[in-house]
Structure 1
Amino acid sequence: MDSQTKQPLVVYNTLTRKKELFEPIHPPLVGMYVCGPTVYSDIHLGNCRTFISFDTIYRYLLHIGYKVRYVRNITDAGHLEGDRDEGDDKFAKKAKLEQLEPMEIVQKYTIGFHHVLEAFNTLPPSIEPTATGHIIEQIEMIREILKSGYAYEVNGSVYFDVEKYSQKYDYGILTNRKLEDLLEGTRELGGQDEKRGRLDFALWIKAKPETLMKWPSPWGWGFPGWHIECSAMSTKYLGQTFDIHGGGMDLQATHHTNEIAQSEACNHVQPVKYWMHTNMLTVNGARMSKTAGNGFLPQELFTGNHPLLERGYSPMTVRFFMAQSHYRSTLDFSNEALQAAEKGYKRLMEGLSNLQRIQPSSSSSVNVAALRENCYAAMNDDFNTPVLISHLFEGARIINATIDGKERLSAADLELLQHVMKTFVFDVLGLLDETKADAKSHVVDGLMKLILEIRSEARAKKDWATSDKIRDNLKAIGIEIKDGKDGTDWKFI
């Protein structure tokens, strides 16, 4: 590990409900699995927060010297409407509505998902497997669970027997709930339900004649249940037991609880050492949801095209805003909070820009080494990004105070401060300097305005050769201009 970090890394483990020393199973390799999106609709901000949070965790683990195999799946099959394995498959339903093949729906929203995460400057995972690409692995895992006696088949569907599993294992271990309490909170089975127990869930679902996405299996044509995909793919790429499994806290009670049960029933070992979960989003204090009408998509946040938004906010402003709250804390969206984050982000970028203006002194009046240790201590305390940001603001204060002559930095400390600020702002927090991009855009706009004015003057003088030369040369470098009644517009091709 990085010899520069003296403090041990501790992480909060949802499974044990306490902070624990982070000790990988096979150091320096870290296996990390994060539940990816269900790609039948646009990605929502709750997903974004999860993926941005784990991107920061991924970045920091890489920075301190770990080799990380980061697996993030794509759910493109087997996701039903209800929580009792009933209703239509969401991909097939969307495909029928839009008159497309299901995999066209998958492709469309997978590309959209990637574009959104690129805007937030997240690193791609090491492996991004799909549920449909691992049907064989899921079938084999179901066969093993059947052999172990923790599942049963009914009319071509296979269900996990929760109550039998609970005779040996703790089914509610992740949420710290007893089986009796879980049963009390679950409605009785209907007369047509094939399941034996109220908490039982589908591992494999028999296809209806009209089902679009289906595969052959030992139990007939069907498709996998939602939960089995993650167990199968995490086992394939990370082993029967791996280090970190992450996702939103909304996945704890059902999806992750069932993942543990499936994996343990199949492999007879606890599948994950550290379970980590991000908290929910709220808007002006109320929980964000589509039904409440207070949920907005990333593009709506960027453009401001939503009734609750006064204006748009850039991707880096949003990423910085998210980092100002700990990943386990509730994150409340409001225009006031976003605008405050925007000011803080610009202040940080301004400080970094001012670094190059500093002239070193013969001695220092500040302890940069202590600042550096504080930054590592913050991230080593369960990836505490809000505390890290407070230290980075102190770094920005030192920069500005040095320029104003109120502080001094030796050449060695100036070099160290540059390293600390750039490392934690860009490499760890994953921020980009949008202020430079804005400045470049402003310059390009000014240059194009000047060029089009020169071309307009040439056209007024009937100097068609110059006019055409400007048009053709711009097109050659990827800029198209179009003359109209209201003047000339331009765009990048």
Structure 2
Amino acid sequence: MYVCGPTVYSNVHLGNVRTFMSFDMIFRYLKHLGYKVRYVRNITDAGHLENDADAGEDKISKKARIEEIEPMEVVQRYTVDFHNMLNLFNFLPPSIEPTATGHIIEQIELIATIIENGFGYVVNGSVYFDVHKYNETNDYGILSKRKLEDLIHNTRALDGQSDKKNPQDFALWKRAEPQHIMKWPSPWSEGFPGWHLECTAMSTKYLGNQFDIHGGGLDLKFPHHECEIAQNQAAKGVSPVKYWMHTNMLEMNGQRMSKSTGNIINPEQLLSGDNDKFDKGFSPSVIRFFMMQSSYKSVLDLTNDGLIASEKGYNKLMELISLLDKITPSSTTNTGDISVENLRNDCYAAMNDDFSTPMLIGTLMSNGKLIHGLSNGTYQINEADLTLLKETYHSFVFDILGLQQETAAGLDTEKLNSTVSLLIELRDNARANKDFATSDRIRDQLLEAGIQLKDGKEGTTFSIN
């Protein structure tokens, strides 16, 4: 599996987090099923020009020029930020994380092959891919369902495109202007590789000329992934990927996230609550739970109400697991109300349905009555089924969804349990002494703090709302 990684010229944004989280979940599930997965996610540290175009300034070089530092200082700073942020959200590291600058030789060799096969041409030290020549024997637009004729019709003349035979052609290698900082020697000029070419070189080096899954955000389908197909077909004679997977967009309050409109928030602000868009901060696992409640293919709208609801849902799920972990097996056989095997099959059916994490979460949450029944003695369960039930919840919640046990208040579980247990004891004493005013005040004030007490035959328990 190859996933297009970040261009490291700025802090990672929430849309990136959502995309990489989706493929982290897919990576986790494939490993859970027993597949040996080689997961390659690259770092783009050169060659990505402004507006994803063939003209303009390199995004990293521009940042270095503005801040008066070396480009590799920019790369280091934001690569570290990227890794730190993904660690907060409990991502597994990829198998290989190649950089574009570490594979210049492979890219030069790939360009030479494309030229030799008749699909590339050199103009003034730059090399371009001949889309029209390619389209004579192949289908440029096969992934995005676009027709070259429509692209020609909708193309307007742009400055800086005069070297190309046709506006639809894209750069494989760009001759560097004297002021360009990041440049390398090549047979054609001192310059730098095209953005599209980098992913073709890195993916095929580590995964072969054709591999199973290629992922990325929906915004990369055209032209980036379309160009990858064309490059691979032109150089290797084969389409590179069996399954293309694209995550959809992340919106906020019903609108596209955009710096220009101010409708934007970064992960740190969402975590800390230091923003004017949301009532409070949310923990990494709550944000992850929120994102997993939507299909990776669906537009996801980030809202205050949605996050508050997800926080409640996440807390209820963690409460179920805490209850489940305390249950002991019965010496009797199960009642007819319990079928752990069916529950487990439903979990797999959800994930096998195009990685439907919303269905999976719904299945896990809908069995709350069963777990509460086992906890209070309404249902009985034997040791084998209890072991399978615990393993099912732990595998799907922690290993596959990638959630972690947290508390809304930021306290560790042991401290929270001790504190609430003390208050429950004080409340029990007040009730025994018929001091119902104190008893009710403890219950009501805990409820205001998001902790609900539940009185039952076996005593009082609590849950976090």
TM-score between the two structures when normalised by the length of structure 1 = 0.82
Residue-by-residue CA offset, 1:297-351 (whole Å, 9 max, x unaligned) = 1111101222212211111000110000010011110000001001111111111
Distance 1:382 1:441 in 2: 34
Residue-by-residue CA offset, 1:225-256 (whole Å, 9 max, x unaligned) = 11000000001000000000000000001100
Distance 1:233 1:106 in 2: 18
Distance 1:415 1:119 in 2: 30
1:167-246 map, 5 Å: 167-190=136-159, 193-246=162-215
Unaligned 5+ runs, structure 1: 1-31, 448-493
Say if 2:320 is the partner of 1:363: no
Verify the 8 A CA contact 2:407 2:413 in the aligned structure 1.
Answer: no
1:186: Cα distance to partner?
A: 2.0
1:301-450 map, 5 Å: 301-361=270-330, 362-364=332-334, 365-435=337-407, 438-440=410-412, 443=415
- In structure 2, relative to structure 1, the CA distance for the partners of 1:387 and 1:314 (3 Å cut) is same
Distance 1:136 1:376 in 2: 44
- In structure 2, relative to structure 1, the CA distance for the partners of 1:410 and 1:235 (3 Å cut) is same
Verify the 8 A CA contact 1:45 1:298 in the aligned structure 2.
Answer: yes
Question: What corresponds to 1:40 in structure 2?
Answer: 9
Question: What corresponds to 1:119 in structure 2?
Answer: 88
Residue-by-residue CA offset, 1:153-205 (whole Å, 9 max, x unaligned) = 11011111111111111110001121111222222355862111111111101
Q: Which letter maps to 2:308?
A: Q
Question: What corresponds to 1:467 in structure 2?
Answer: none
Verify the 8 A CA contact 1:264 1:271 in the aligned structure 2.
Answer: yes
Match of 1:107 among 68, 76, 92: 76
Verify the 8 A CA contact 2:13 2:266 in the aligned structure 1.
Answer: yes
Residue-by-residue CA offset, 1:116-173 (whole Å, 9 max, x unaligned) = 0000100000000000000000111000000011111110111111111111111100
Unaligned 5+ runs, structure 2: 420-465
1:436: Cα distance to partner?
A: 9.6
Question: What corresponds to 2:229 in structure 1?
Answer: 260
* Percent of paired sites with the same residue: 59
Distance 2:229 2:261 in 1: 32
Distance 1:39 1:344 in 2: 34
Say if 2:267 is the partner of 1:298: yes
SS at match of 1:141: helix
Q: Which letter maps to 2:322?
A: S
SS at match of 1:152: strand
364-373 or 107-116, which deviates more: 364-373
Distance 1:128 1:56 in 2: 17
RMSD: 1.8
Question: What corresponds to 2:49 in structure 1?
Answer: 80
Distance 1:83 1:237 in 2: 25
TM-score between the two structures when normalised by the length of structure 2 = 0.86
Distance 1:59 1:138 in 2: 31
SS at match of 2:294: coil
1:437: Cα distance to partner?
A: 9.5
Distance 2:357 2:144 in 1: 25
Distance 2:350 2:402 in 1: 16
Question: What corresponds to 1:283 in structure 2?
Answer: 252
Question: What corresponds to 1:146 in structure 2?
Answer: 115
1:409: Cα distance to partner?
A: 2.0
420-429 or 75-84, which deviates more: 75-84
Greater RCO (Cα-Cα under 8 Å, separation 6 or more): 1
